[in-house]
């Protein structure tokens, strides 16, 4: 793959990380942002029009507010650019299907940025589960909280929810048959906390708790199998992120994983699939199942 063929739209709190990573991978040529002209030296802040017209730009990274993802994704595809869109790709299935239809002709690579699926710890967890070591999955509990709102334009469900729903979908590979909202809180009309039950076929039960009202940051996933339990705590040091607990004798131990920044994994993967014209792991069909579940949860609240 040629160097300097990536442009990043949106250099906010998370966009800065994407700019840094693609810059270090020597793949970043331009940024587009109205407030961050000096994000990185030697990287020009170009207009969207100039970036669309630049034939040397093969892919655009979209890390703008969620409500702008749909229009920017459509414009990028129309201008023959591959796209990497931060989660979620859109906030409804209707717009997702429009993007899918638009890409039938253009045949560009569409990847959604579900970073947790590229986390070395989660990749290790998948291998453990696929080996049959913990038995059949019976229950999953996910908790994601913080002390502050990370977005003024979105709610907790669309900001944090894609992380946990993407994990759950990857592990179970189906959408829920029933959704039950246990509780939710709003602040000035914005959803800031939600606790939801998800019921799946084969008697799999999932509970997801998301909150901006917590006194501390929590990022924890508990997977209970018929034989063993996995606890993934992403706030802990690398050597303690994954714990295996034997359900019968209560013995526990930590799993060794190779330390590597999940975002670096994700960005390298995106560059590789463009170079080799491969189908992405977090493609539009993967996004469809995640967005469908989030949309149903959102509708249940209302």
Q: Are residues 51 and 128 both part of a single domain?
A: no
Kindly state whether residue 187 falls inside one of the protein's structural domains: yes
120 and 250 together in one domain: yes
Q: Give the end of a domain, one of 88, 108, 128.
A: 108
Q: Which pTM does this prediction carry?
A: 0.93
Residues 6+ apart with CB under 8 A from 68: 62
Instruction: Answer whether residue 274 is part of any domain.
Output: no
Asked whether residue 176 is domain-assigned, the answer is: yes
- 133 and 254 assigned to the same domain: yes
- Does residue 270 lie within any of the structural domains? no
Q: What is the pLDDT of residues 176-232, one digit of tens each?
A: 999 999 999 998 889 999 999 999 999 999 999 999 999 899 999 999 999 999 999
| pLDDT attached to residue 188 | 87
Looking at the structure, tell me whether residues 137 and 199 fall in a common domain: yes
Question: Do 89 and 122 share a domain, yes or no?
Answer: no
Residue among 204, 136, 211 at smallest CA distance from 168 = 204
Average pLDDT over the chain reads: 93
Q: Which residues pair with 183 in a beta bridge?
A: 195
Residues 14 and 140 occupy one common structural domain: no
Tell me if 277 is assigned to some domain.
no
Which position has the token pair 């699939």? 273
Query: Residue 194 — φ and ψ, nearest 5°?
Result: -150, 140
Contact 20, 40 (CB under 8 A): yes
- How many distinct structural domains can be found in the chain? 2
| Domain of 67, in residue numbers | 6-108
Q: What is the mean pLDDT of residues 257-282?
A: 95
- Quickly count helices (H) and strands (E) in the chain: 8, 14
Q: In a 10 Å sphere around its CB, with 0-12 CB exposed, 13-18 middle and 19+ buried, how is residue 203 labelled?
A: exposed
Last residue of a domain, one of 91, 108, 125: 108
Let me know if residue 256 belongs to a domain.
yes
E strand residue ranges, the chain: 6-9, 28-32, 44-45, 59-62, 82-86, 110-113, 137-145, 178-187, 190-200, 204-211, 218-225, 228-233, 242-246, 252-254
Q: Are residues 162 and 90 in the same domain?
A: no
Are 34 and 92 members of one domain? Answer: yes
Does 257 lie in the same domain as 143? yes
Would you call the peptide bond into 88 cis, given omega within 30 degrees of 0 as the criterion?
yes
The structure tokens listed for 108 are: 């560009």
Dist. CA 255–CA 237, nearest whole Å: 12
Answer yes or no: is 150 within a domain: yes
- Using alpha carbons, select from 162, 157, 161, 205 the residue that is nearest to residue 180: 205
Per-residue pLDDT tens over the stretch 91-135: 999 999 999 999 999 999 999 999 999 999 999 999 999 999 999
Rounded CA separation 294/175 (Å): 10
Would you say residue 175 lies in a domain? yes
Q: Please indicate, yes or no, whether residues 236 and 187 belong to a single structural domain of this protein.
A: yes
Same domain, yes or no, for 132 and 218?
Answer: yes
Q: Domain holding 215: CATH number?
A: 3.30.360.10
For residue 297, is pLDDT > 60? yes
Each residue of 123-180: pLDDT tens digit?
999 999 999 999 999 999 999 999 876 555 689 999 999 999 999 999 999 999 999 9
Is residue 203 left, alpha or beta, with left meaning phi > 0 and alpha meaning psi from -120 to 50? left
The domain boundary, picked from 108, 141, 170, lies at: 108
Rounded-to-integer distance, Cα 62 and Cα 15, Å: 8
Query: Is the domain of 175 the same as that of 250?
Result: yes
16: domain CATH number is 3.40.50.720
């Amino acid at each position: 793959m040629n160097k300097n063929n990536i442009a990043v739209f949106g250099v906010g709190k998370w966009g800065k990380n994407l700019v840094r990573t693609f810059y270090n991978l020597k793949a970043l040529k331009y940024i587009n942002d109205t407030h961050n002209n000096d994000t990185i030296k030697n990287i020009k802040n170009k207009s969207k029009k100039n970036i669309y017209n630049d034939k040397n730009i093969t892919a655009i990274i979209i890390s703008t507010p969620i409500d702008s993802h749909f229009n920017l994704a459509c414009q990028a595809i129309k201008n023959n650019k591959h796209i990497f869109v931060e989660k979620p790709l859109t906030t409804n299935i209707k717009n997702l299907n429009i993007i899918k239809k638009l890409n039938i002709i253009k045949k560009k690579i569409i990847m959604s940025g579900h970073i947790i699926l590229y986390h070395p710890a989660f990749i290790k967890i998948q291998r453990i589960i696929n080996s049959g070591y913990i038995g059949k999955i019976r229950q999953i509990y996910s908790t994601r909280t913080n002390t502050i709102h990370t977005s003024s334009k979105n709610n907790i469900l669309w900001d944090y929810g894609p992380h946990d729903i993407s994990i759950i979908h990857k592990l179970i590979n189906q959408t829920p048959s029933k959704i039950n909202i246990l509780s939710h809180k709003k602040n000035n009309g914005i959803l800031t906390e939600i606790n939801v039950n998800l019921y799946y076929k084969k008697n799999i039960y999932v509970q997801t708790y998301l909150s901006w009202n917590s006194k501390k940051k929590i990022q924890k996933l508990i997977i209970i199998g018929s034989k063993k339990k996995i606890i993934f705590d992403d706030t802990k040091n690398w050597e303690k992120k994954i714990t295996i607990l034997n359900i019968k004798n209560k013995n526990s131990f930590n799993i060794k994983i190779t330390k590597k920044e999940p975002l670096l994994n994700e960005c390298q993967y995106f560059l590789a699939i463009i170079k080799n014209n491969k189908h992405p792991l977090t493609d539009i069909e993967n996004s469809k199942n995640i967005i469908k579940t989030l949309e149903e949860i959102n509708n249940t609240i209302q």
